[in-house]
Amino acid sequence: MKKVFLSVLVGLPVSAALGCDLCNIYSALEAHGEAGKGWHASVAEQFTRFRTLQQDSHEVPNDVPQKLDSSITQFVLGYNFNEIYGVQFNLPFIHRTFQRPDGLDVQRGSVTGIGDASLLAHARLFKYETKDATAVVHFLAGIKFPTGDSGRLHEEVDELTAPPPPPGAVDSGIHGHDLALGSGSVDGIVGLNLFARCHRMFVTGSIQYAIRSEGSYQYKYANDTAWSAGPGVFLVLGEDFTCSLQGVFSGESKGMDRFWGMPADDTAISSVFAGPQLNVTWKDKLSAEFGVDIPVSIRNTSLQLVPDWRVRGGFTWRF
């Protein structure tokens, strides 16, 4: 439930002859690394706070209390061959601190290191453009590599072989599959991205599907669907500066992981978040964004610690 893929919104070329506002929209998209030939680099951060304990989609008392703070920083280097095709390499750096029950004791700890890297390619499938409206659809596909430390997955083995817990012990909602920095598997990624505009109003959307294979300790994360969509408006469209405000809905859906060929009953989750996002750009070189996500609905199986909120931010430099 805590695996994150960095979505890619790619290429939107707009003719300078269509008007000043469209020139500025084009510059804003280039600043995001989404249009034009050349290199772009990004740093994106997502911090998620987990404090709510749920049993089969219903909140239960968190008496310990159990908690998890997860920080994922994505470093991205991309290259657009032209306005249609491009590639990018993503390397996450993960830091998580946690507190959970361990028998009759309370365990506190942290995990830090690189996560699983991915290499993605994208291609423009469709483009419609007039003076007042634009629509672009891109397809992306790639591979995730087992670069992250999957050692925490051994806890799944320990849980199966450990003696029964003592009377009065509290069950943990944080397990090895939540703390592992990597899966130990080579996985596939496919997805679609959309940008549509009417005058200064716009909407973006993305969906990604992760196709998982068996990784370390015969543990297989379930295939995962992640999506986001939301309307926005350009508040400022200056020659050197743009600012837009967007309402973003996002979510994730995955089934049960499998361990030693058997379903892991505390791993399926379906979540929906909503919140605002602010986007700014400077010329066609620099862009930044900041968003807040609040859970609207979280449905899970068995006992899991689920998010209370998350914040996102990022910078992109086109050079």
DSSP character string of the chain:
---------------GGG-HHHHHHHHHHHHTT-SSSEEEEEEEEEEEEEEEEEETTEE----S--EEEEEEEEEEEEEESSSSEEEEEEEEEEEEEEEEEETTEEEEEEEEEE---EEEEEEEEEEEE-SSEEEEEEEEEEEE---S--GGGHHHHHHHHSPPPPTTPPPPS--HHHH-S--SS-EEEEEEEEEEEETTEEEEEEEEEEE----GGGEEPPPEEEEEEEEEEEEEE-SSEEEEEEEEEEEEEE---EETTEE-TT--EEEEEEEEEEEEEETTTEEEEEEEEEEEEEEESSEEEEEEEEEEEEEEEE-
Calculate what percentage of the chain has a pLDDT beyond 90.
Answer: 74
Task: Answer whether residue 1 shows pLDDT above 80.
Answer: no
- The tens digit of pLDDT for each residue in 210-259 reads 999 999 999 999 999 999 999 999 999 888 898 999 999 999 999 999 99
Q: Picking from 2-11, 23-32, 64-73, 201-210, which range would have the lowest pLDDT averaged per residue?
A: 2-11
Looking at the domain assignment, is residue 7 inside a domain?
no
Let me know if residue 193 belongs to a domain. Answer: yes
Residue 2 lies inside a defined structural domain of this protein: no
Domain count, the chain: 1
Query: Does residue 4 lie in a domain region?
Result: no
Residue 305 is assigned to a structural domain of this protein:
yes
* Cα–Cα distance, 210 to 253 (Å, whole number): 11
Q: Is 148 inside a domain boundary? A: yes
Which residues make Cβ contacts (< 8 Å) with residue 94, sequence separation at least 6? Answer: 70, 71, 72, 73, 111, 112, 113, 114, 115, 148, 181
Range of the domain at 249: 16-318
Question: Which pLDDT band holds residue 41 (cuts at 50, 70, 90)?
Answer: very high
> Cis peptide before 65, with omega less than 30 degrees from 0?
yes
CATH number of the domain that residue 86 is part of: 2.40.160.40
User: What is the SS3 assignment for 64-118?
Assistant: CCCEEEEEEEEEEEEEECCCCEEEEEEEEEEEEEEEEEECCEEEEEEEEEECCCE
Q: Tell me if 8 is assigned to some domain.
A: no
The reported pTM is 0.90
> 260-285: per-residue pLDDT in tens?
999 999 999 999 999 999 999 888 88
pLDDT value of residue 283 = 85
11 is a domain residue: no
